[in-house]
Amino acid sequence: MDRIRIIGGNKLHGTIPISGAKNAALPLMIAALLTDETLILDNVPRLADVALLQRILGNHGVDIMAAGKRPGDHEYQGQTLHISAKNIIDTTAPYELVSKMRASFWVVAPLLARMHEAKVSLPGGCAIGTRPVDLLIMALEKLGAEISIDGGYVIAKAPGGLKGATIEFPKVTVSGTHVALMAATLAKGSTIISNAACEPEITDVADCLNKMGARITGAGTPRILIEGVDKLHGARHTVLPDRIETGTYAMAVAMTGGEVQLSGARPELLQAALDVLSQAGVSITPNNDGIKVARNGAGISPVTVTTAPFPGFPTDLQAQLMALMTRAKGASHITETIFENRFMHVQELARFGAKIALDGETATIDGVAKLRGAPVMATDLRASVSLVIAALAAEGETMVNRIYHLDRGFERLEEKLSACGATIERISG
């Protein structure tokens, strides 16, 4: 299993290109199941999760062609996928595949909407809390699906097709909103989703669905209205930049000091996180090409932050912020409200000498003057990268073990960081 070796202490200087958003690319690829015409997606990141979803879609009979690079393409430009779900040969998504990535469960929505049936294994994915699918099932039932659970599979049927309905989510859920949105595009009549997630990735998917002929308004607000249509068609869409990758590298620069241009980043996608970094004493300058992040001389000031649905501070940046605050001048408080059990990085950060105390949903981090490199183990996707951030500022050598989580969500992490002066290498095998 690959490992990453880091020698800490170097400031970061240079440019980091921001990739397409994993959390938009996955539902966009899944949305291709809604039409028998080809959906072309540009700026798809090269990630293990994307490759796995290609296999999962292939199992349903979807043809995916990855276009090669053309002259003039940027070195880091994402891939272009031509996805054709002309013939869906199988409406079952098996345990062996779905258990590896939670988002693949979402195929249930387009399969049900277009084929009127789906059999999908209950999901796996990052071990951050129980992460149930009850609200996804509730949304599909509201749209008229008959659902049973048998042998670990969700079996969904809608013999006469789905019917528009009012779906009110009792809590904000990204997965629930994606599923409701996709399913409702082909339902008869109109659907209202209230208390919908407002994450930019939801808006990106809705934009793409509208290009495919869907009639969706209000995406990006808590109330989304969908007028069902009989059929969707092909389209071409560019995946929006990854706000979590953007925030992660911003925190890495904040941690090491230096100055880095995050090329292609869009500040409005992560304003809450950028505001927190400004409070911490980091210089954030939006410009034509993205965001410039710098910390020169000044230390890191402690912050108090609570994770919240968009536009709040994202749970997917919580571990990275905690790593940064291990070096702050004073005590920081970070409260996690989205996922229970999303503090698995705490014990690993302690191996660097960080001082973190947990009390229920809140972590108190007492900044220390120095971190020391250590062997550590990656647990979930975002936790893994928090260990990389700590290692970049730690004295001596860190070996990050079990990095397959990193490969699920961060494209060419070690290349991007070493190009800015970090001493970081992947050790294969």
Binding-site annotation: residue ranges for phosphoenolpyruvate:
22-23
Please report whether residue 104 would count as binding ligand UD1 according to CB under 6 A: no
DSSP letters of 63-102? EEEEEPP-TT--TTPPEEEEEE-S-----EE-HHHHTT-G
Please report whether residue 131 would count as binding ligand UD1 according to CB under 6 A: yes
Contact yes or no for 309/280 (Cβ under 8 A) = no
| Minimum separation from the CB atom of position 282 to ligand UD1 (A) | 23
Give the binding-site size for ligand UD1 (rule: CB under 6 A): 21
∠ CA 97-100-105 to the nearest 5 degrees? 70
Could you say which of 126, 198, 208, 420 is catalytic?
A: 126
Beta strand 3-7 with 423-427 is antiparallel
**11: which DSSP letter?**
P
- Mention every residue, 6+ apart, whose C-beta is less than 8 A from residue 298: 281
Please report whether residue 171 would count as binding ligand UD1 according to CB under 6 A: yes
H/E run at residue 358: strand 355-359
Please report whether residue 103 would count as binding ligand UD1 according to CB under 6 A: yes
Among all chains, which residue has been given the structure tokens 């048998």?
150
Please report whether residue 276 would count as binding ligand UD1 according to CB under 6 A: no
The pattern of x and - marking residues 332 through 361 that bind ligand UD1 according to CB under 6 A reads ------xx----------------------
**Residue closer to ligand UD1, measured from CB, 289 or 340:** 340
Please report whether residue 174 would count as binding ligand UD1 according to CB under 6 A: yes
User: What does the block give as tokens for 144?
Assistant: 């008229």
Residue 420 among the catalytic residues:
no
Question: Which of these ranges, 5-13, 172-180, 280-288, 397-405, lies near ligand UD1 under the rule CB under 6 A?
Answer: 172-180
| Minimum separation from the CB atom of position 293 to ligand UD1 (A) | 22
Please report whether residue 384 would count as binding ligand UD1 according to CB under 6 A: no
State which amino acid sits at residue 59: N
> Up-side HSE of residue 151: CA atoms within 13 Å toward CB?
5
Please report whether residue 173 would count as binding ligand UD1 according to CB under 6 A: yes
Among all chains, which residue has been given the structure tokens 């002066």?
421
Site of interaction with ligand UD1 (CB under 6 A): 23, 26, 102-103, 129, 131-136, 171, 173-176, 197, 315-316, 338-339
